[in-house]
Amino acid sequence: MQDFSRLIRNTSRTKDYLLHMSGAIVVAVVVIALAKMADAALHLSEDLFAVYPWAFLLIMPLGFGFIRYVTVRWAPYAAGSGIPQTMAAVRIKDVAVQTKGLLNPLQTLLKVFLVTLGLACGASIGREGPSIQVGAAAMAFWAYRLAGRLRVSAESLVIAGGAGGLAAAFNTPLAGIVFAMEELAKGRAIRATWFVLMTILGAGFISLAAQGNYDFFPIFDRSDTTPSLLILAVFSAVAGLIAGLMSWLLVTGLPRYLPEASTAWRAAALAAAIGLVLAVLLLITDGSSLGTGYQTAAGLLNADPAVDQRELGFSLVKFTATVLSYVAGIPGGIFTPSLSIGAGLGHDFAMMFGLQSLHQHLVLIGMVAFLAGVVQAPVTATVIVMEMTGSQDAFIYLMLAAVIANLTSKIICRQSIYEILARRLLETIHPTQAARMRREHEPESKNEADSSASPSNQTNADQRQKNLWEEKH
């Protein structure tokens, strides 16, 4: 009789675990749907700009204003990248609380459409950060509401779903695993590690099966010439400093001086004004600032520097457009724009210093160095770029570039942009966890301490957004 009871319990437990792991299918499906919608929106904006470029003087302000209003009014936790929300949710070890706030399924679903609309309006945003929040929300909701008795910790669900979203978004299963360990877990022991790994791999391989085994940034003709250690170190350090500057501008520099958005209408008006500035920039640069910058970055990887100087200065244009798009407060990530900025930096460096023979490798190094400097996760940046470009043979010097850029970026911004924003979110909804997070990542300079401790305009906006959401629900 005891053996029969044990068999029943084991069977029930196995069924629950299998239901939880089937959430990988849900994660892959929603992330692939977001990718398809985002790509269609990006192509739409490119086609529209080719025919009616001046129309963006109307499209961008109205689109940005509408997106920001909807976000503040009905989906405050959908704003921005989605990675800070996911990191904050990992700290809140209660899946019921997670799915009612930071990973609210309705707000996350609305984010999918808002990101798509933002790309259609020409915003310099990416879909990969939102894919992480969407994946985490899908996994948490599936396991909590639909997959029987909860057998896995809340933090493991969020880590598995978020990293699975990254793996499916980039077609990079290995990068998903590294991202889970380096960025989401942040050195903490993960319970049910096997579950997390299987979910990430499942989401990644389902994406591969559905979309094909392709390189996100394909390289068609690989160069055999590699840069010297001195050139690699100098360029990586410069890219890291510029990445640190962008992070500082996003979390501290610009929010200090932007007008306070105390209501949804004021937030929308500010976003519309930023949209108008971006529309002017778009026209001045003949469309260089449009969208993610994917096509330009992919072209630079395969460009012949002897004849292709059209995109000189693209990095500055994309840097400006990405910063403005992000501070507008609309949903959207910075992963792909960061890769595009890094590719532009590599191209500019090669052309300015007569290093045309190293062009392809400098573009590749720029991508990994700038991304590592922004997210301050060098291993994740290296593996992502390596898998996306099929550059496994370049792992050593890509890793070295990422480490150097990570170190130099900390000169300007001591902590990752995602760590700072995640802590600010926790301060509004879970002060105890925010204080614990602050102790774990004590700022090493007074400037960073001031910027992270004092409530900025963005922090106040987050609190108001939370209050608005609670009134509605």
CA distance linking residue 344 with residue 294, whole number of Å: 11
Residue whose C-alpha is closest to residue 342's, from 378, 305, 372, 376? 372
CA distance linking residue 321 with residue 350, whole number of Å: 23
Say if residue 193 is in the same domain as residue 272: no
Query: CA–CA distance from 388 to each of 129, 213, 218, 384, 444 (Å)?
Result: 16, 11, 7, 6, 34
Residue whose C-alpha is closest to residue 37's, from 116, 101, 109? 116
Does residue 445 sit within a domain? Answer: no
CA 169, 170, 174 angle in degrees (round to 5)? 110
Q: Write the DSSP string, 2-40.
A: HHHHHHHHHHHHHHHHHHHHTHHHHHHHHHHHHHHHHHH
Q: Write the DSSP string, 83-112.
A: HHHHHHHHHS--HHHHHHTTT-HHHHHHHH
Does residue 434 sit within a domain? Answer: no
Contact 110, 74 (CB under 8 A): yes
State the DSSP H helix or E strand holding residue 57, giving kind and residue range, or none if neither: helix 56-74
Per the structure, the complete domain to which residue 278 belongs is given by: 229-417
Does residue 467 sit within a domain? Answer: no
Number of domains within the chain: 2
- Can you give the pLDDT at residue 447? 45
Does residue 369 sit within a domain? Answer: yes
For 111, the token pair is 């984010």
Say if residue 290 is in the same domain as residue 355: yes
State the DSSP H helix or E strand holding residue 418, giving kind and residue range, or none if neither: helix 417-429
Q: Which of 417, 438, 468 is the last residue of a domain?
A: 417
- Can you give the pLDDT at residue 208? 85
Say if residue 247 is in the same domain as residue 347: yes
Supply the DSSP symbol for 145.
I
Helix/strand number for the chain, H first, E second:
23, 0
Does residue 216 sit within a domain? Answer: no
Say if residue 306 is in the same domain as residue 397: yes
- Can you give the pLDDT at residue 466? 44
- Can you give the pLDDT at residue 443? 47
Supply the DSSP symbol for 354.
T
Q: What is the CA radius of gyration of the chain?
A: 22
Q: Which of 168, 183, 211 is the last residue of a domain?
A: 211
CA distance linking residue 459 with residue 436, whole number of Å: 18
Q: What is the mean pLDDT of each run of 10 residues along the chain (473 residues)?
A: 50 60 86 95 96 96 97 93 91 76 91 97 94 92 69 81 91 89 73 78 87 83 86 96 96 86 91 97 94 91 68 88 95 94 94 90 96 94 93 92 97 92 84 56 46 41 44 39
Say if residue 203 is in the same domain as residue 237: no
Query: CA–CA distance from 38 to each of 11, 430, 456 (Å)?
Result: 41, 33, 31
Say if residue 180 is in the same domain as residue 247: no
CA distance linking residue 167 with residue 202, whole number of Å: 9
Does residue 315 sit within a domain? Answer: yes
- Can you give the pLDDT at residue 289? 92
Instruction: Give the global pTM.
Output: 0.87
Residue whose C-alpha is closest to residue 102's, from 415, 424, 402? 424
- Can you give the pLDDT at residue 458? 43
Does residue 162 sit within a domain? Answer: yes
Does residue 352 sit within a domain? Answer: yes
CA distance linking residue 58 with residue 371, whole number of Å: 32
For 243, the token pair is 């990445």
Main-chain dihedrals φ then ψ at residue 333, nearest 5 degrees: -100, 180
Say if residue 125 is in the same domain as residue 247: no
Say if residue 244 is in the same domain as residue 186: no
Contact 297, 340 (CB under 8 A): yes
Q: Which of 417, 433, 468 is the last residue of a domain?
A: 417
Say if residue 307 is in the same domain as residue 273: yes
> Which residue type sits at 19?
L
Say if residue 202 is in the same domain as residue 256: no
Say if residue 91 is in the same domain as residue 132: yes
Continuous H helices in 144-228: 154-170, 173-179, 193-211
Tell me, what CATH number does 184's domain have? 1.10.3080.10
User: If you search the block for the tokens 């599936």, which residue do you land on?
Assistant: 142
Say if residue 30 is in the same domain as residue 178: yes
